[in-house]
Structure 1
């Protein structure tokens, strides 16, 4: 392969990732913004006690839905990409038939389990109030009905991403579902002006958008499948081998995905159980910006994922390294200013959620500092999985989960929401630095290219002073935009330009 060809491969992949990633991050920004508004409406309408129970219920819902997907949100991207890259397109249909039916069955089983366990979860996380426990139980059961729809929505959209199509994810999950959630929760909030606010009503409003979205996701997955359909005879041996290899790869990722979700959600449940639902509401509101940054990471990661899998499956580590570094530079460019701004303005924006929420300022500072490190490592967890190291991936997440639970149990009774923030920050560091070392040792890939270092220096130079003097944001924003333009070459911003 010539030097020109070697360079062209990652640059083409970067352009493709940029187009999909830009759309996905824009959709993620909308989804994150809608999520902040939904959090605000719930906090204002329900009050700290019921809001804390609501956030605990949605955390349980997301955990159960993550378990129901059985890791197929990675397997149904990795395997289609690998099959295409190795000239085995005729096995794509068998791959989908391997991954989808188990999710359908398991999600129904877990929905029933969540329905039956709702009273126990409510007693654990809703304090001593019989009325709150009753409402919390009903809210959990409302959400349990929608567990299969949540799991199927995510898996069907994963199928479209496996075919390199980001549009359904952006339009259906990021935009349509978020907008419908916002409208439905707003309607519930308006209704609460004339009647007593009800936790189950808000739970239904938040979950109902999964119904239309799952139908549209199914149609999109069917279209993507038919467009890439290659008709060929598949032997029973090939089908059996594919099924075995698919689940050998995916099974560790299934447990890792659940543990990863637990890292993001179990802290809310632990705060509710150990310090009460009011403390859980403060923690959920203060940590909401973390979800926004995770959306940005996920949006870019989902676009890079199939291209990185193709490069690694063919042994092209140079292309994979270049793509990883370019994508990390973009991620730092977007997320580091957000982290520094939320530290600077936390006392102001937390006050908007109601009296008492400014107690979450230290929570914001701890989590934002941890997110600077985590985003600086890029989508290292995904890189490790796309390199086929799903067992190592599982081990890392389990270690990180043990760290967060151990610190939470130790610190929440003493420090409340701040104790949970320290636990999550510790888990973030473990779950990024450990796979970073593993990825480098096994593949020599690392995220610290010219673009990453340039973006980090630019963000700190422009927004670091804003943390001390918030009014400096007036000068920091235009300076940052100008700096990004001057550094557009190292940052590979030209990849976002539409080719004529």
Structure 2
């Protein structure tokens, strides 16, 4: 049967992803840099134990916020894309009303639960340093107040991405929130010079930027909704069916999203509980560059996600494969030099945070090597979800979480932060290689196009030698830029140029 649906030209699809991805990655670079600066301030101003307590508290906060979103950060992109691709634009408003109210209610309940459980969480993670428990509890309660704002900010910005608008995410989350967070934490650090540093004050400074950002995100989501509004009669049956289908798709992703966040954050809590707050601070500082890589991955994923969803929902696997491979090539081009430079300069990088953090060098080496594999697979878990395999996605993340928790419990008591790094490395390998096999088996999609392979070879050729001879970085950087220019065809770098 022949359909009349038309698919966007590959160059146009790549250009749209490039524009959104470039802006998002630029914002992500700023957010990642601000995050490193915030970590540096906390590590320098607070002692290792207080810094470890703050890192553990923010990990709990991020986990609570991720749980509160109920997986809607995928559903509110997938379903608008699907509705547009199938000519049901009039249901977009009903889709938003299906996803937003449960997040608001559940986030308030989770905030209350975190407030009540704060003393227990503090005793669990600071049991070896009882003098920190009171301040740790206060810091957790400060953060609990902001859980609904965090969840609502992320969901409202997801709504704008569902309408294929990346600008609000870049401007409000990546740039504004990160800048305000850096300024607020910096002000707390300056204030601490004349008085004893207070963990709750740093917690407040870290979280308070969510207040202005959630208000602006609400305006952005409202504008996107009104701009794409299609007025048509919606029957009760249509609304009920959409709500059911939305949550059938989203519910498994909700659990997967929490498990995915747990993969990134639970290790800090486990190091604090099993090894102590000081090792938790070392681990958090040593792994900070991983967050920078994850920001880059997230930035590209969020730009590619709606276009990939539309391609897969209309059965255009050729466009989906091309988009996946192009985006992975860009990701490797950006992230592999960072990983290799971090390996080469790990001791110098850690000494920036203080002499006490030099013990984290093995952690950096393990995680940086693993990130080379993870980024080489591209945004594979998102591809699996956009192909409708959310249940498989959930199973993969739960397996990876079991791996990291199991290895952490076994290794942290003996090896401390290095044991946690081994646990996270094992989980990242599982969480990338398993869905990679499933995506290829189910859709014949894979990330290893000419651009991906070329970018990988270029990064290893230019920066692999820097690992052995750090001074070679002076020649590696211009050589890499020249190589990227020569590979601009396979990498589709022309998509970043303005259309004439």
1:29 CA drift (Å): 0.2
Whether 1:368 aligns to 2:391 is: no
> Does the CA contact (< 8 Å) of 1:75 and 1:250 recur in 2?
yes
Q: C-alpha separation between the residues in 1 aligned to 2:9 and 2:389?
A: 24
Render the CA deviation track for 1:1-24: whole Å, top value 9, x for unaligned. Answer: 9xxx99962221110000000000
The match for 1:385 is 385
> Does the CA contact (< 8 Å) of 1:118 and 1:141 recur in 2?
yes
Taking structure 2 as the reference length, the TM-score comes to: 0.98
Q: C-alpha separation between the residues in 2 aligned to 1:83 and 1:53?
A: 45
Pick closer, same or farther for the CA change 1:301–1:418 going to 2, 3 Å.
Answer: same
The match for 1:355 is 355
> Does the CA contact (< 8 Å) of 1:56 and 1:268 recur in 2?
yes
Pick closer, same or farther for the CA change 1:53–1:491 going to 2, 3 Å.
Answer: same
SS in 1 for 2:46: helix
Whether 1:281 aligns to 2:267 is: no
The match for 1:431 is 431
> Does the CA contact (< 8 Å) of 1:146 and 1:210 recur in 2?
yes
The match for 1:479 is 479
1:47 CA drift (Å): 1.1
1:280 CA drift (Å): 0.2
Whether 1:126 aligns to 2:154 is: no
What pairs up with 1:387-406 in 2 under 5 angstroms? 387-406=387-406
Q: C-alpha separation between the residues in 2 aligned to 1:153 and 1:265?
A: 20
The match for 2:338 is 338
Whether 1:42 aligns to 2:31 is: no
> Does the CA contact (< 8 Å) of 1:10 and 1:320 recur in 2?
no
SS in 2 for 1:388: coil
1:316 CA drift (Å): 0.3
The match for 1:26 is 26
CA RMSD of aligned residues (A): 1.3
Render the CA deviation track for 1:232-252: whole Å, top value 9, x for unaligned. Answer: 000111101100000000000
1:272 CA drift (Å): 0.2
SS in 2 for 1:378: coil
Render the CA deviation track for 1:176-214: whole Å, top value 9, x for unaligned. Answer: 000000000000000110000010000000000000000
Give ranges in structure 2 of 5+ residues lacking alignment.
Answer: none
Pick closer, same or farther for the CA change 1:65–1:304 going to 2, 3 Å.
Answer: same
1:77 CA drift (Å): 0.1
1:143 CA drift (Å): 0.1
Taking structure 1 as the reference length, the TM-score comes to: 0.98
1:441 CA drift (Å): 0.4
> Does the CA contact (< 8 Å) of 1:370 and 1:429 recur in 2?
yes
Render the CA deviation track for 1:134-154: whole Å, top value 9, x for unaligned. Answer: 000000000000000000000
> Does the CA contact (< 8 Å) of 1:22 and 1:496 recur in 2?
yes
> Does the CA contact (< 8 Å) of 1:6 and 1:319 recur in 2?
no
SS in 1 for 2:280: helix
The match for 1:417 is 417
Q: Which moved more, 1:124-133 or 1:167-176?
A: 124-133
Whether 1:469 aligns to 2:475 is: no
